[in-house]
Chains A and B, each alone.
Chain A
Amino acid sequence: MRKLVYILFFTVFATQAQTPMNSTEAMTLKSKVKALATTTKTISSDFVQYKHLDFLDNDIETSGKLAFKAPDLVKWEYVAPFKYSVLFKDETLFINDEGNKSNVDIGSNKMFKQLNKLIISSVKGDMFDEVEFTIEYFHKDQNSLVYFSPRDKKFAKYIQAFHITFNSKGDVIEVKMLEPSQDYTKIVFSNKVLNQTLDNAIFTN
């Protein structure tokens, strides 16, 4: 019996950690994030990526740096345990795979174009597009958590939902991309700096 009480207590407690927002709170968060996104000219941040596959004992951990410069320059650079970078620039995706360089013309590839747009908007958190996503808002501890589920069935086959966590300033601190299989990729940002001058040399392959 005592066990049952404990279980009930913990269940209630656990669910309380994540509660839905009311519409006013959701509107407030949305405008806060949008305001921050429009004034964000550059972002530089460290990140740790956790790839979760249900059958593995441990998540696969990779880490690196992110640089963004408005309107559409993005560089993802993995540093450990291998060196690999992708740079989105001039409608082209430049890849540097441990020194082996290649590029993909995004202009001709609809999927890459969409991916590029999504990466930029998820980094800034500005994905509040009701036409493209079903959106749900939650409080999570001191932060806010928003679920963006793609309405496009073809896209939902790759990613069922983006779960983005914002801090109290409306800045993105975590992005989780959920697959239909419930496996996911989680990216946790740290040492994030906004609007610091970023040298163009960073955005070279």
Chain B
Amino acid sequence: MRYLLISICFIFFGCASFPKKNNFVVTPVTSNINNPYFANPDQDYIYKANIEVYDNAFGGIFIVKKIGDQHHRIVFTTEMGNKLFDFTFNKDDFTVNYILDDLNKKILINVLKKDFKVLITEHLTAEKNYAIADEIIKKTSLDNKTYYYFESPEITKIIRANSHKEKVRFLFTDLNDNIAQQIEIIHSNIKLKINLKSITK
């Protein structure tokens, strides 16, 4: 009987929605989401990157440039300058301009595409608003996935979650003049962690 109760408890809590599980308090929607971190077309955004994927770790240089409205170029090179991949995001279009043969795997490209689209998307509609301590949390959708933007008041964290569980976490720290000096992208369902450290001048 006790086990049954515990099991029921687990099922109950396990099924609780993501906001409920995290004790978010519903508040009225007052404003939409504005992500400023890759929004300046006059800025070359350059990051030293470290990627841990399963038991491999490798580094490189991660480059983002806003070419126009909802139009970005994202390139990853080795430290010695060899291009590993080169992507273009233009509104809903996505183009692989170049990718090293060894990395040319559909599943990998899709994961990167989804992650990077979050980094560069500037304007999103807040569908619901929550609060926890002094943070405001805005719920939104991007390409049919649910995201929670944590603002205090700058965006410090973005979480992609299904209805119950966190899938990917984006952390923005050391915020300075609309540039996030440190960005971490941590996946919880696959062993993938991307660490970006700004070397922008």
Residues of chain A at the chain B interface (Cβ within 8 Å): 49, 51, 53, 55-58, 60, 62, 76, 78, 81-82, 84, 86, 95, 97, 100, 102, 158, 177, 179, 181, 183, 185
Contact = CB atoms under 8 A, between A and B. Distances in A.
B82 A55 contact: no
A177 B155 CA distance: 39
Interchain residue pairs A-B with the least CB separation, the first 7: A185-B81, A81-B199, A97-B59, A56-B44, A82-B48, A51-B81, A84-B79
B80 A185 contact: yes
B81 A49 contact: yes
B81 to A, nearest CB: 3
Contacts of B86: 181
A55 B73 contact: yes
B4 to A, nearest CB: 49
A43 to B, nearest CB: 17
B157 interface: no
Given A55-B65, A60-B46, A179 B199 contact: no
Given A76-B80, A84-B79, A100 B42 contact: no
Nearest to A81: B199
Given A57-B42, A58-B44, A51 B57 contact: no
Nearest to B50: A97
Most buried by B among A51, A76, A95, A102: A51
A146 B197 CA distance: 37
A60 B83 contact: no
A177 B81 contact: yes
Contact of B57 (A82, A102, A183): A102
B63 A60 contact: yes
Nearest to A80: B199
A183 B83 contact: yes
B98 to A, nearest CB: 7
A interface, over-half SS: strand
Interface residues on B, range: 20 to 34
Contacts of A56: 44, 63, 65
Contacts of A86: 79-80
A177 B83 CA distance: 12
B89 to A, nearest CB: 13
Interface in B32-52: 42, 44, 46, 48, 50
A20 B54 CA distance: 52
A183 B67 CA distance: 17
A26 B75 CA distance: 38
Nearest to A104: B58
A1 B91 CA distance: 46
A57 B44 contact: yes
B61 A179 contact: no
B77 interface: yes
A56 B72 CA distance: 11
Contacts of B80: 49, 76, 86, 185
A174 B42 CA distance: 30
A62 B201 CA distance: 12
29 contacts: A49-B80, A49-B81, A53-B63, A55-B65, A55-B67, A55-B73, A56-B44, A56-B63, A57-B44, A58-B44, A58-B201, A60-B61, A60-B63, A78-B79, A81-B199, A82-B79, A82-B197, A82-B199, A84-B79, A86-B79, A86-B80, A95-B59, A97-B50, A97-B57, A100-B50, A177-B81, A181-B83, A185-B80, A185-B82
Nearest to A59: B44
Given A51-B77, A58-B44, A181-B83, 17 more contacts: A49-B80, A49-B81, A53-B63, A55-B67, A57-B42, A76-B80, A78-B79, A81-B199, A82-B48, A82-B197, A84-B79, A86-B79, A97-B50, A102-B57, A177-B81, A181-B86, A185-B82
